[in-house]
Structure 1
């Protein structure tokens, strides 16, 4: 296990263990690689699947680690720790997709994708796996917010503490994550027709007359739908913590 709050280099002893395995690819040296890579497996399991059975998630991660050992080509691939991290993440993500049984709102899926992309970029540029604190700082989301976000889809949405998913600092020309969440919740409260009207007016930049023609309704009805929709959304923003 990774010690809480401890920064560590993913390359650590795994490169030496893999080099020994490449010289002598037997079971004993394979087990050395697995032991050296266990920190990576535990790290990704803790980040990606905090609410799934630990043993099952770890098994998926170790399967990814072993696959990486069998497929690694030192002449064509990056450092083994980087190569292995991709396989470990891949197997854990695959397991999560099979096991996730709960609703995951669009904003949560988008933020999870940003977390994935940041980890991938760190691995590509430095070969190191970022800690939660580094991810939080890079994405401007509190650490607990990152943790709560990664729970989305694994537990009932009612069990996620949305209040923890909050920006760390103000950024010009960027909508804070807490406002994005409220906006997403507001849109979900609109009817299908209301969402269509909002989408056509604000995302496709149509006039009310053009929207009316597109939807086969009167311009007056478009105006009433717009007014009611904006009132619903405004009320939610005013109630935000």
Structure 2
């Protein structure tokens, strides 16, 4: 690859360009960002003419990757709040974005590589979050619809001065109203909290999330009562079962029941009281 040269400045790169050789950089990761910008242009010039698969092409490509790792660290810096363990994954994913940017960069566009690479790096990191950080797995179309929904909601809220309706969102997003509702529902799967998580501000300081959500399901007790009551009703006579049905299913008054049976309201009242007392006694046996 020509005369071995340790290049850490743009001046060294300029000298080697006239010879048509690439400078040999001992440690590309230690090249200053300012020098890396100028050296990158030299390496991209050569990368465009070198045959893919040759040692020279591999050297140029690998050096570009190592020289521009500072771009990955810069882009990943905005996500530093996610903790050191996750930052390692973020940097690795950002490197994939950097490699894609290097493989797709075209000098003829006369754009700075840094301006071209940052969106690739950040986009790859965001895609990583989208695909791996959902608390509940949802289809990718719903993950993408969630992002679209957030943007549409923000745009319409600022434009209308209020929370947009489902119909307004569906028109802006070019989706059906059912799809908008589905995207809203899918958004609930993005984050999750443990039911045992402590809630700040509670009087005892130890209350958990589960202490504040949900209610006792009284219908469960009703189900048990219905199962216990069914055989007791089956043991009643036909007239008593009919009175129970008219009073509690058809919701007739005692007077209306008396008219149907041809008896007085007082007689219906006595029959009903006697039957209910029998059923209560049967329910208490267990």
Higher relative contact order (CA 8 A, sep 6+): 1
TM range (shorter): 0.3 to 0.5
Q: TM-score, normalised by structure 2?
A: 0.32
Larger radius of gyration: 2
TM score, norm. by length of structure 1: 0.37
